[in-house]
Structure 1
């Protein structure tokens, strides 16, 4: 049986932490920034953990990292 293929889009956007949780970047922070408040833009920096219900789907999309 051949190897399973990862979803390349998901593999680029999500990564595993040391404890096995999934990490993601926050959305809506790349353009049309003039109408967004400084607080909102600041909170879009950095990463966040993926919720548990979505992590199950990610395990199927990126099987090699799981």
Structure 2
């Protein structure tokens, strides 16, 4: 049976922490920042930790990468 391949799109967008949580970049911070409040832009600098249900799916897709 062939090995499971890492999902390359997920690999580029998510990281798995040492404790097994999945982190991703905050949404709405790619462009069009000029009209957004400074508070919102400042809060979006911090990476988001996903909830358990989503983290399980992400970690499973990245499992074959040795993470």
- Shared fold (TM-score greater than 0.5)? yes
TM-score, L = length of structure 2: 0.84
Higher helix content, 1 or 2: 2
The runs of 5 or more residues in structure 1 that have no matched partner are none
Find out whether 1:34 has 2:34 as its counterpart.
yes
SS in 2 for 1:63: helix
Report the count of equivalent residues. Answer: 66
The runs of 5 or more residues in structure 2 that have no matched partner are none
Distance in 2, Cα, partners of 1:7 & 1:42: 30
Q: How does 1:15-30 map to 2 (within 5 A)?
A: 15-30=15-30
